[in-house]
Structure 1
Amino acid sequence: MAKMSIGAAFSETFAFMKANWMQMLIWVGGALVVVGVLGFLLLGSTFSAMAMAPNDPSLVMGAFGKIFLFALVAAVIFYGVSMLIWRGGMHPGEAPNFAWAFQAGPALAFGMFVVMIAAYIVIFIIMFILTLIFGAALGGMGGFSPEALTSGGASAIGGGAILLMVILYIAMVVFLLWVQGRFMVAGPVMANQLTRNPVTGLGESWRLTGPSQWTIVGFYLLFVIGIFIYALIAGMIFGGVLGAILGGSAVGAILTMIVMAALVYLPIIMISFSMPVGVYRAIAPRASGDVFA
C-alpha cells in the first residue's frame, strides 16, 4: 500500500485505457446496444401510451415500474461489463468469466447502494440537528424564512445563517466525494481477487485508500471537471459541425446523435471505467498478473 500522487493516478488511468481500449470498446459498445434495444422494447410503447393519456394514474404507475425494471437491468449489465473490463485488463489473456462477472457486478452495485444510502442518512441526521439548533436560535423554523432572514435585527443573524447553509452544502458535496473516494477501488479489488463478496471489495478499498483519501478526492474532482469541460467543448464542436453538414432533418438528427455518442460519450464512459483501476494501481502493490503498461 502506497501513498498516491495525482500524477500517478492520471498516468495509470490512461495507461489502462491505452492498453485496453479495444476490449472496452467492444464490451461498452455491446452493452450500450443491448441496453438501447431493451429500453426500446420495455419503454417505447410506454412513453407513447403516456403521451396519448398523460393523466391516467394507472398508466403513470405502470410506467414508473417499467422504468425501475429497466434501470435495474441496465445496472446489472453495466456493472457486469465493468467487472469483465477490470478483470481482463488486470489479467490479460484470461478467458472472460461471464458467470462471475454478472454476479459480482450486481453485488458491488448493491453494496455501493447501501453505502450511499448510509451516507445520505448521516447527512440527513446532521442537517436535521443543525436545523433544530439554528432554527431555535432564530426563533423557530420560521427564522429561516426569507422575511425573517432579511428583516430588521435578524438581518445579521440571517446573513450568518445563509453563509452557514452555503458552507454546509459545500461540506455535503465534499463528504460525498470523500465517500466515493474511499470506496472507489472496491470493483478492481473484487476483479483482481475474483470474488463475488462486495464486503471484501468495500473493506479492502477502505483500507487501501486510507493514506491517500484526500488526494483521491482531489483527483476525482479534477477528473469530473475535466470530463465536464471535454463534454461541453466536444459537444459544441461536433454538434455544430454535424448540424451544419447534415441539416435539420430527422435522419440528420439521428446521425448526429450516433456520432456524438461515439465521439463524446463513449470516450467518457471508457475513461470512467479506467479511473478506478488507475487509482488501484497507484495505491496497491502490483500483482504479477497486472501487467498493463
Structure 2
Amino acid sequence: MIKMSIGAAFSETFAFLKANWMQMLLWVGGALVVVGLLGYLFLGSTFTAMAMSAGDPSAAFGALGKIFLFALIASVILYGVCMLIWRGGMHPGEAPNFAWAFQAGPAFAFGTFVVMIAAYIVIIVIMLILGLVFGAALGGMGSMSPEALASGAVGGGAIFVMIILYIAVLVLMLWVQARFSVAGPVMADRLTRNPVTGFAESWRITGASQWKIVGFFLLFTLAMLAYMFVASLIFGGILGAILGGSAVGAVLSLIVMAAVVYLPIMMFSFSMPIGIYRAIAPRASGDVFA
C-alpha cells in the first residue's frame, strides 16, 4: 500500500484507456446496443400503457415490474462487461471469461448497492442528530418553508449551517466512494466472485490515499462535466442545423450524441477505478499496459 498522487491516477487512467480503447469500445458499444434493444422490447409500450391506464393499480404495478426487470438485466450486462474490460486490461491475452464476468458483475453491483444504502442510512442518522443539536439555529422546520425563505425569515446563520451540512454530505459520499473505489478491479484482478473480498481489500489499500482519491474524483467529475457541456454545445448545434427538427433527425441526433458524448464518458469512467488501483498498487498486474 502506497500513497497515491493525483497526477499518477490521471496518468494511469489515460494509459489504461489508451491501451484498451478498442476493446472497451467494442464491449461498451455492444452492451449499449443490447441494452437499448432490450429497453425497446421491454419498455416500448410500457409508458404508453401506464398513461392510458391511469388510476389502474394493477397496470401500474405491472409496468413497474417490467421496469425493474429491465433495470436488473441491464445492470447484469453493464457490470459484466465492466468486469470483462478490467480483467482483459489487467491480464492481456487471456480469453474472456464470460461465466465469471456475468456472476462477478452482478455481485459487485449488489455489493455497491448495499454499501450506498448503508452510507445513506448513516447520513440520515447524522442529519437527524445534527438537526436536533442545531434545531435552534435552524429555526425549526416551519421556518424552512419556501415562504419563510422568500420572506427572509430564515436567518443567515441557519442558511450557513444548511450549506455546511450539504457540503459535508457530499464530502462524506465522495469519501465512501473513494474507500471502495477499487473493489471492482480487485475482484477482476483476483478473478473472484466474492464482493466482500473486493470491498475489504479496497478499504485496506485506499487508506493511505483516501483524500487524494476524493480530490481526484472532484477533478475528474469537473473535467467530465466540462467535456459534456462543450461537446453537447458543439455537436448539438451542428446536428440541429443539419438535421432540423424532424423525428428522424431527433433519433439521429440522439445516436450521434450518445456516440460522441456518453460513450467516451462511460469509457473514462470504466478506466478511472483501474487508474486508481494501479496508482496505489503498482505491483498488481504489471502487464496491464503491455
CA distance in 2, matches of 1:97, 1:86: 12
The aligned amino acid for 1:179 is: V
Q: Structure 1's 269 and 130: CA in aligned 2 closer, same or farther, altered over 3 A?
A: same
Map 1:1-293; keep pairs closer than 5 Å: 1-135=1-135, 141-142=141-142, 144=144, 158-292=155-289
Q: Structure 1's 172 and 139: CA in aligned 2 closer, same or farther, altered over 3 A?
A: closer
Q: CA deviation at 1:146?
A: 6.5
Partner SS state of residue 9, structure 1: helix
Asked whether the equivalents of residues 137 and 158 of structure 2 are also in contact (C-alpha less than 8 Å), the reply is: no
Runs of 4+ in 1 over 6 A off after TM superposition: 146-152
Q: Structure 1's 258 and 144: CA in aligned 2 closer, same or farther, altered over 3 A?
A: closer
CA distance in 1, matches of 2:103, 2:122: 29
1:163-214 per-residue CA deviation (whole Å, 9 max, x = no partner) reads 1111000000000011001101000000000011101100110111111100
Mark the runs of 5 or more structure 2 residues left unpaired by the alignment: none
Q: CA deviation at 1:45?
A: 1.6
CA distance in 2, matches of 1:140, 1:231: 40
The aligned amino acid for 1:68 is: F
Asked whether the equivalents of residues 135 and 143 of structure 1 are also in contact (C-alpha less than 8 Å), the reply is: no
Q: CA deviation at 1:226?
A: 0.7
Q: CA deviation at 1:50?
A: 2.2
Give the alignment's TM-score, normalised by structure 1. Answer: 0.93
1:64-100 per-residue CA deviation (whole Å, 9 max, x = no partner) reads 2211111111111111110000000000000000010
Q: CA deviation at 1:62?
A: 1.7
- What RMSD over aligned residues (CA atoms) do the two structures have, in Å? 2.0
The aligned amino acid for 2:20 is: N
- Tell me how many residue pairs correspond in the alignment: 290
CA distance in 2, matches of 1:243, 1:150: 39
1:232-283 per-residue CA deviation (whole Å, 9 max, x = no partner) reads 1101101110111122221111111111111111101000000000000000
Q: Structure 1's 149 and 50: CA in aligned 2 closer, same or farther, altered over 3 A?
A: closer
Mark the runs of 5 or more structure 1 residues left unpaired by the alignment: none
